[in-house]
């Protein structure tokens, strides 16, 4: 079973303690819902092959101290076509706020703000949403989608599947709220996983996903983007087979198959294996668990290549107690990471455990008794060659704060 990307899972601990604030009342001056809709217009859709979609995590503004301004100062905003803002919650079958304090209320000083202007106590919208508005003003071609669900917050989709129209209406009402309607250009659905098990298990049936995505598209219409993160398990009878992703493809602008986290230190004793191999290789623990296998599976089911984006992880996964340099070694448990066990950002790993080998189109590193796997600018370049050869719609990655301060990895994507 494919595992979640742990930064999503670690959000469980954060939301238990994060402060949430009541949203300010009233509309932005001179901006009613109709005006906001007019200002937004029809989202410009990047040509097939050129999309670069990066996740911005709502909780990154806390321990990671990563803010919307960093997207600009790193140069990433110039390289991105779209940002997925992660995550909105799904509760009681409806879209709801995640951390309202981070999203709409956190006050930014002048030096923290995208445009150098400090928030005031009486303005109607602060937080990440206001900073994203400023980022879009500075980079007019950049589009932002609000992503709902993720590993921790997917449980509400089971109830949503019972009344897709009500779910879609709740999402539309929240995303298109008149206070921030100009911030978002659409919605991203991250259900982990339809008719399968993630943090919780769903038994809504194989057709439920198609019905839900149809309702979302119907409500959001042609002037908003509708996208979805989907599983990468290409095994016969695996998570891709559990739902009708091919049938639902007509309702999405593109899919983000999560072609990372195939392997990791949740298998505490190994064998060691790169978490995001592009291709299979001799000794891989599961033959089909690689990006090429996932893309081949989805295309074979009838999902158009231009609606598939290749997923890249801006992080590594690792084990400790490893004596063998090459993949396939045994371990004693997860390696220590900066924020949690078994995972660390590329910006940390590139210096503390530099890559010294490649396999399956990605990199690995053996330093001391630790073994890590992660993508580097060189291996990302190889993955971009594959993306172009396959005619895929572009690239997406998890997530922006894992890159270096000067955007080393996103530059390799471009």
Total residue length of the chain? 414
pLDDT at 163 over 80: yes
Instruction: Provide the pLDDT for residue 235.
Output: 94
User: How many structural domains does the chain have?
Assistant: 1
35: three-class secondary structure by DSSP: helix
State the virtual CA torsion across 289, 366, 9, 276 in degrees, nearest 10: -30
190 falls within a domain: yes
pLDDT tens column, 239-253: 999 999 999 999 999
- Reading the block at residue 319, the tokens are 């084990």
Domain range enclosing 228:
6-19+41-258
pLDDT tens column, 26-59: 333 333 333 344 345 556 667 778 999 999 999 9
pLDDT at 137 over 50: yes
Contact 229, 186 (CB under 8 A): no
Q: Where residue 209 sits, what CATH number does that domain have?
A: 3.20.20.80
- Reading the block at residue 228, the tokens are 């979805």
Q: Where are the beta strands (DSSP E) in 279-411?
A: 309-313, 315-320, 333-334, 343-345, 357-359, 362-367, 370-374, 394-398
Instruction: Provide the pLDDT for residue 46.
Output: 77
Mention every residue, 6+ apart, whose C-beta is less than 8 A from residue 13: none
306 is catalytic: no
85 falls within a domain: yes
DSSP 403: S
290 falls within a domain: no
Is the model's pTM score more than 0.95? no
Report which of 31, 328, 325, 21 is spatially closest to residue 178, judged by C-alpha positions: 31
pLDDT tens column, 325-354: 999 999 999 999 999 999 999 999 999 999
Mention every residue, 6+ apart, whose C-beta is less than 8 A from residue 4: 151, 192, 198, 199, 261
368 falls within a domain: no
Identified catalytic residue from 58, 192, 292, 348: 192
247 falls within a domain: yes
Q: Are strands 186-190 and 143-149 parallel, antiparallel or unpaired?
A: parallel
């Amino acid at each position: 079973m494919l595992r979640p990307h742990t930064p999503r899972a670690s959000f469980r601990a954060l939301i238990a303690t994060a402060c949430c604030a009541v949203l300010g009342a009233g509309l932005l001056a001179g901006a009613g819902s109709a005006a906001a809709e007019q200002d937004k217009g029809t989202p410009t859709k990047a040509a097939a092959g050129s999309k670069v979609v990066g996740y911005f995590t709502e909780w990154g503004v806390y321990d990671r101290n990563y803010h919307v301004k960093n997207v600009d100062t790193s140069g990433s905003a110039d390289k991105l076509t779209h940002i997925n803002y992660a995550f909105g919650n799904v509760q009681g079958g409806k879209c709801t706020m995640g951390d309202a304090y981070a999203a709409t209320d956190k006050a930014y000083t002048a030096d923290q703000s995208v445009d150098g202007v400090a928030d005031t106590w009486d303005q109607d919208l602060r937080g990440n949403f206001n900073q994203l508005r400023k980022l879009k003003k500075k980079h007019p071609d950049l589009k932002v989608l609000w992503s709902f669900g993720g590993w921790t917050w997917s449980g509400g989709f089971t109830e949503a599947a019972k009344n897709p129209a009500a779910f879609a209406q709740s999402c539309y009402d929240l995303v298109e709220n008149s206070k921030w309607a100009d911030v978002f250009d659409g919605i991203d659905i991250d259900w982990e996983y339809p008719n399968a098990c993630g943090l919780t298990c769903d038994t809504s049936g194989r057709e439920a996903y198609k019905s839900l995505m149809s309702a979302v598209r119907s409500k959001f219409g042609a002037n908003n983007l509708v996208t979805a993160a989907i599983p990468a398990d290409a095994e016969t009878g695996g998570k891709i087979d559990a739902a009708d992703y091919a049938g639902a493809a007509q309702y999405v602008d593109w899919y983000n198959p999560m072609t990372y986290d195939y392997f990791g230190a949740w298998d505490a004793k190994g064998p060691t294996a790169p978490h995001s191999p592009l291709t299979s290789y001799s000794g891989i623990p599961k033959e089909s668990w690689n990006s090429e296998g996932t893309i081949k599976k989805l295309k074979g089911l009838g999902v158009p290549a231009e609606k598939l984006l290749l997923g890249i992880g801006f992080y590594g996964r690792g084990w400790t107690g490893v004596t063998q340099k090459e993949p396939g070694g045994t371990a004693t448990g997860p390696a220590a990471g900066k924020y949690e066990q078994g995972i660390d950002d590329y910006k940390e790993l590139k210096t503390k455990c530099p890559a010294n080998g490649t396999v399956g189109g990605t990199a690995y590193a053996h330093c001391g008794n630790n073994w890590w796997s992660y993508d580097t600018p060189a291996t990302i370049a190889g993955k971009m060659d594959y993306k172009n050869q396959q005619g895929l719609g572009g690239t997406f990655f998890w997530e922006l704060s894992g890159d270096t301060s000067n955007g080393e990895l996103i530059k390799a994507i471009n």
